Amino acid sequence: METNKKQRDVKIISEIHPQHYGSMDEIKRMIIQSKIAGADIVKLQLYDSKKLWGDNERVYLDVSENELSEINEFCKIHGIELSASIFDLKRVDWCEKLNFKTYKIASRSVEDKELCEKILSLNKKTIVSLGMYDFKKNGAPFEKRENIHYLYCVAKYPTSLEDIDMPDFSETFFSGFSDHTIGISACLFALARGAKIIEKHFSNSKTIGVSTQSAHVCSMNMHDLEMIREFSDTFNLLRSKISK
């Protein structure tokens, strides 16, 4: 099994925030489920909600430094990497104390020069979503480096399939796809077009918030994640045989 994982050329990121309801028990359950179903990384969002959103409506989703340390230790025990989208400088320091291997710059933070410079100065693997960035007009936002990986993304919750103009990942600077559509067909299409990273929200209650803009409705559950992993591994095996 370990050899098989090392041979994978596609990384799947299970985004568990904000679908954890602010519950540590739910976070741990989602981590275990993501691990079993085949995710390589589980990801949080680290922010001061009052500072970021200007109100207290999301305070229950805030992850403290001590909670982050507990979650990181839980991930280590269960053999899955923890990463995070980070929205301020202080929380970058939290992650560095825990020796994070992978950082995420959310699309809304791409033009936060101070934050991006601090994250990129670490020279760690950095994944950047471009859903809110005009890449067609401006190109890639940062200088070309091997450790920077861009995700094609449409910043709508949920995203309609008609809104997607999926790139050929072998011919663009994009490495992968951050998916906000309902179901997994867009993920499978991205894999078929050469995506090496798939990121999608994870939820155990996809019907929550169906009438509103909600990450739950466009999330994957454990079964969906298993299907994405199986397709990815099978497609990779077929491509390797064809190349021979």
Write down the pLDDT at residue 209. 56
At 88-98, the pLDDT tens digits run 999 999 999 99
pLDDT confidence of residue 212: 43
Q: Which domains does the chain show, CATH number per domain?
A: 9-243 (3.20.20.70)
Return the HEC string of the chain.
CHHHHHHCCCEEEEECCCCCCCCHHHHHHHHHHHHHHCCCEEEEEECCHHHHHCCCCCHHHCCCHHHHHHHHHHHHHHCCEEEEEECCHHHHHHHHHCCCCEEEECHHHCCCHHHHHHHHHCCCEEEEECCCCCHHHHCCCCCCCCCEEEEEECCCCCECHHHCCCCCCCCCCEEEEEECECCCHHHHHHHHCCCCEEEEEECCCCCCCCCCCCCCCCCECHHHHHHHHHHHHHHHHHHHHHHC
- What integer pLDDT is reported at residue 99 of this predicted model? 98
Q: Which residues of the chain have pLDDT under 50?
A: 1, 3, 210-213
Taking the model in full, what pTM does it have? 0.92
The confidence score (pLDDT) of residue 1 equals 45
Kindly report, residue by residue over 156-197, the tens digit of the pLDDT. 889 999 999 999 999 999 999 999 999 999 999 999 999 999
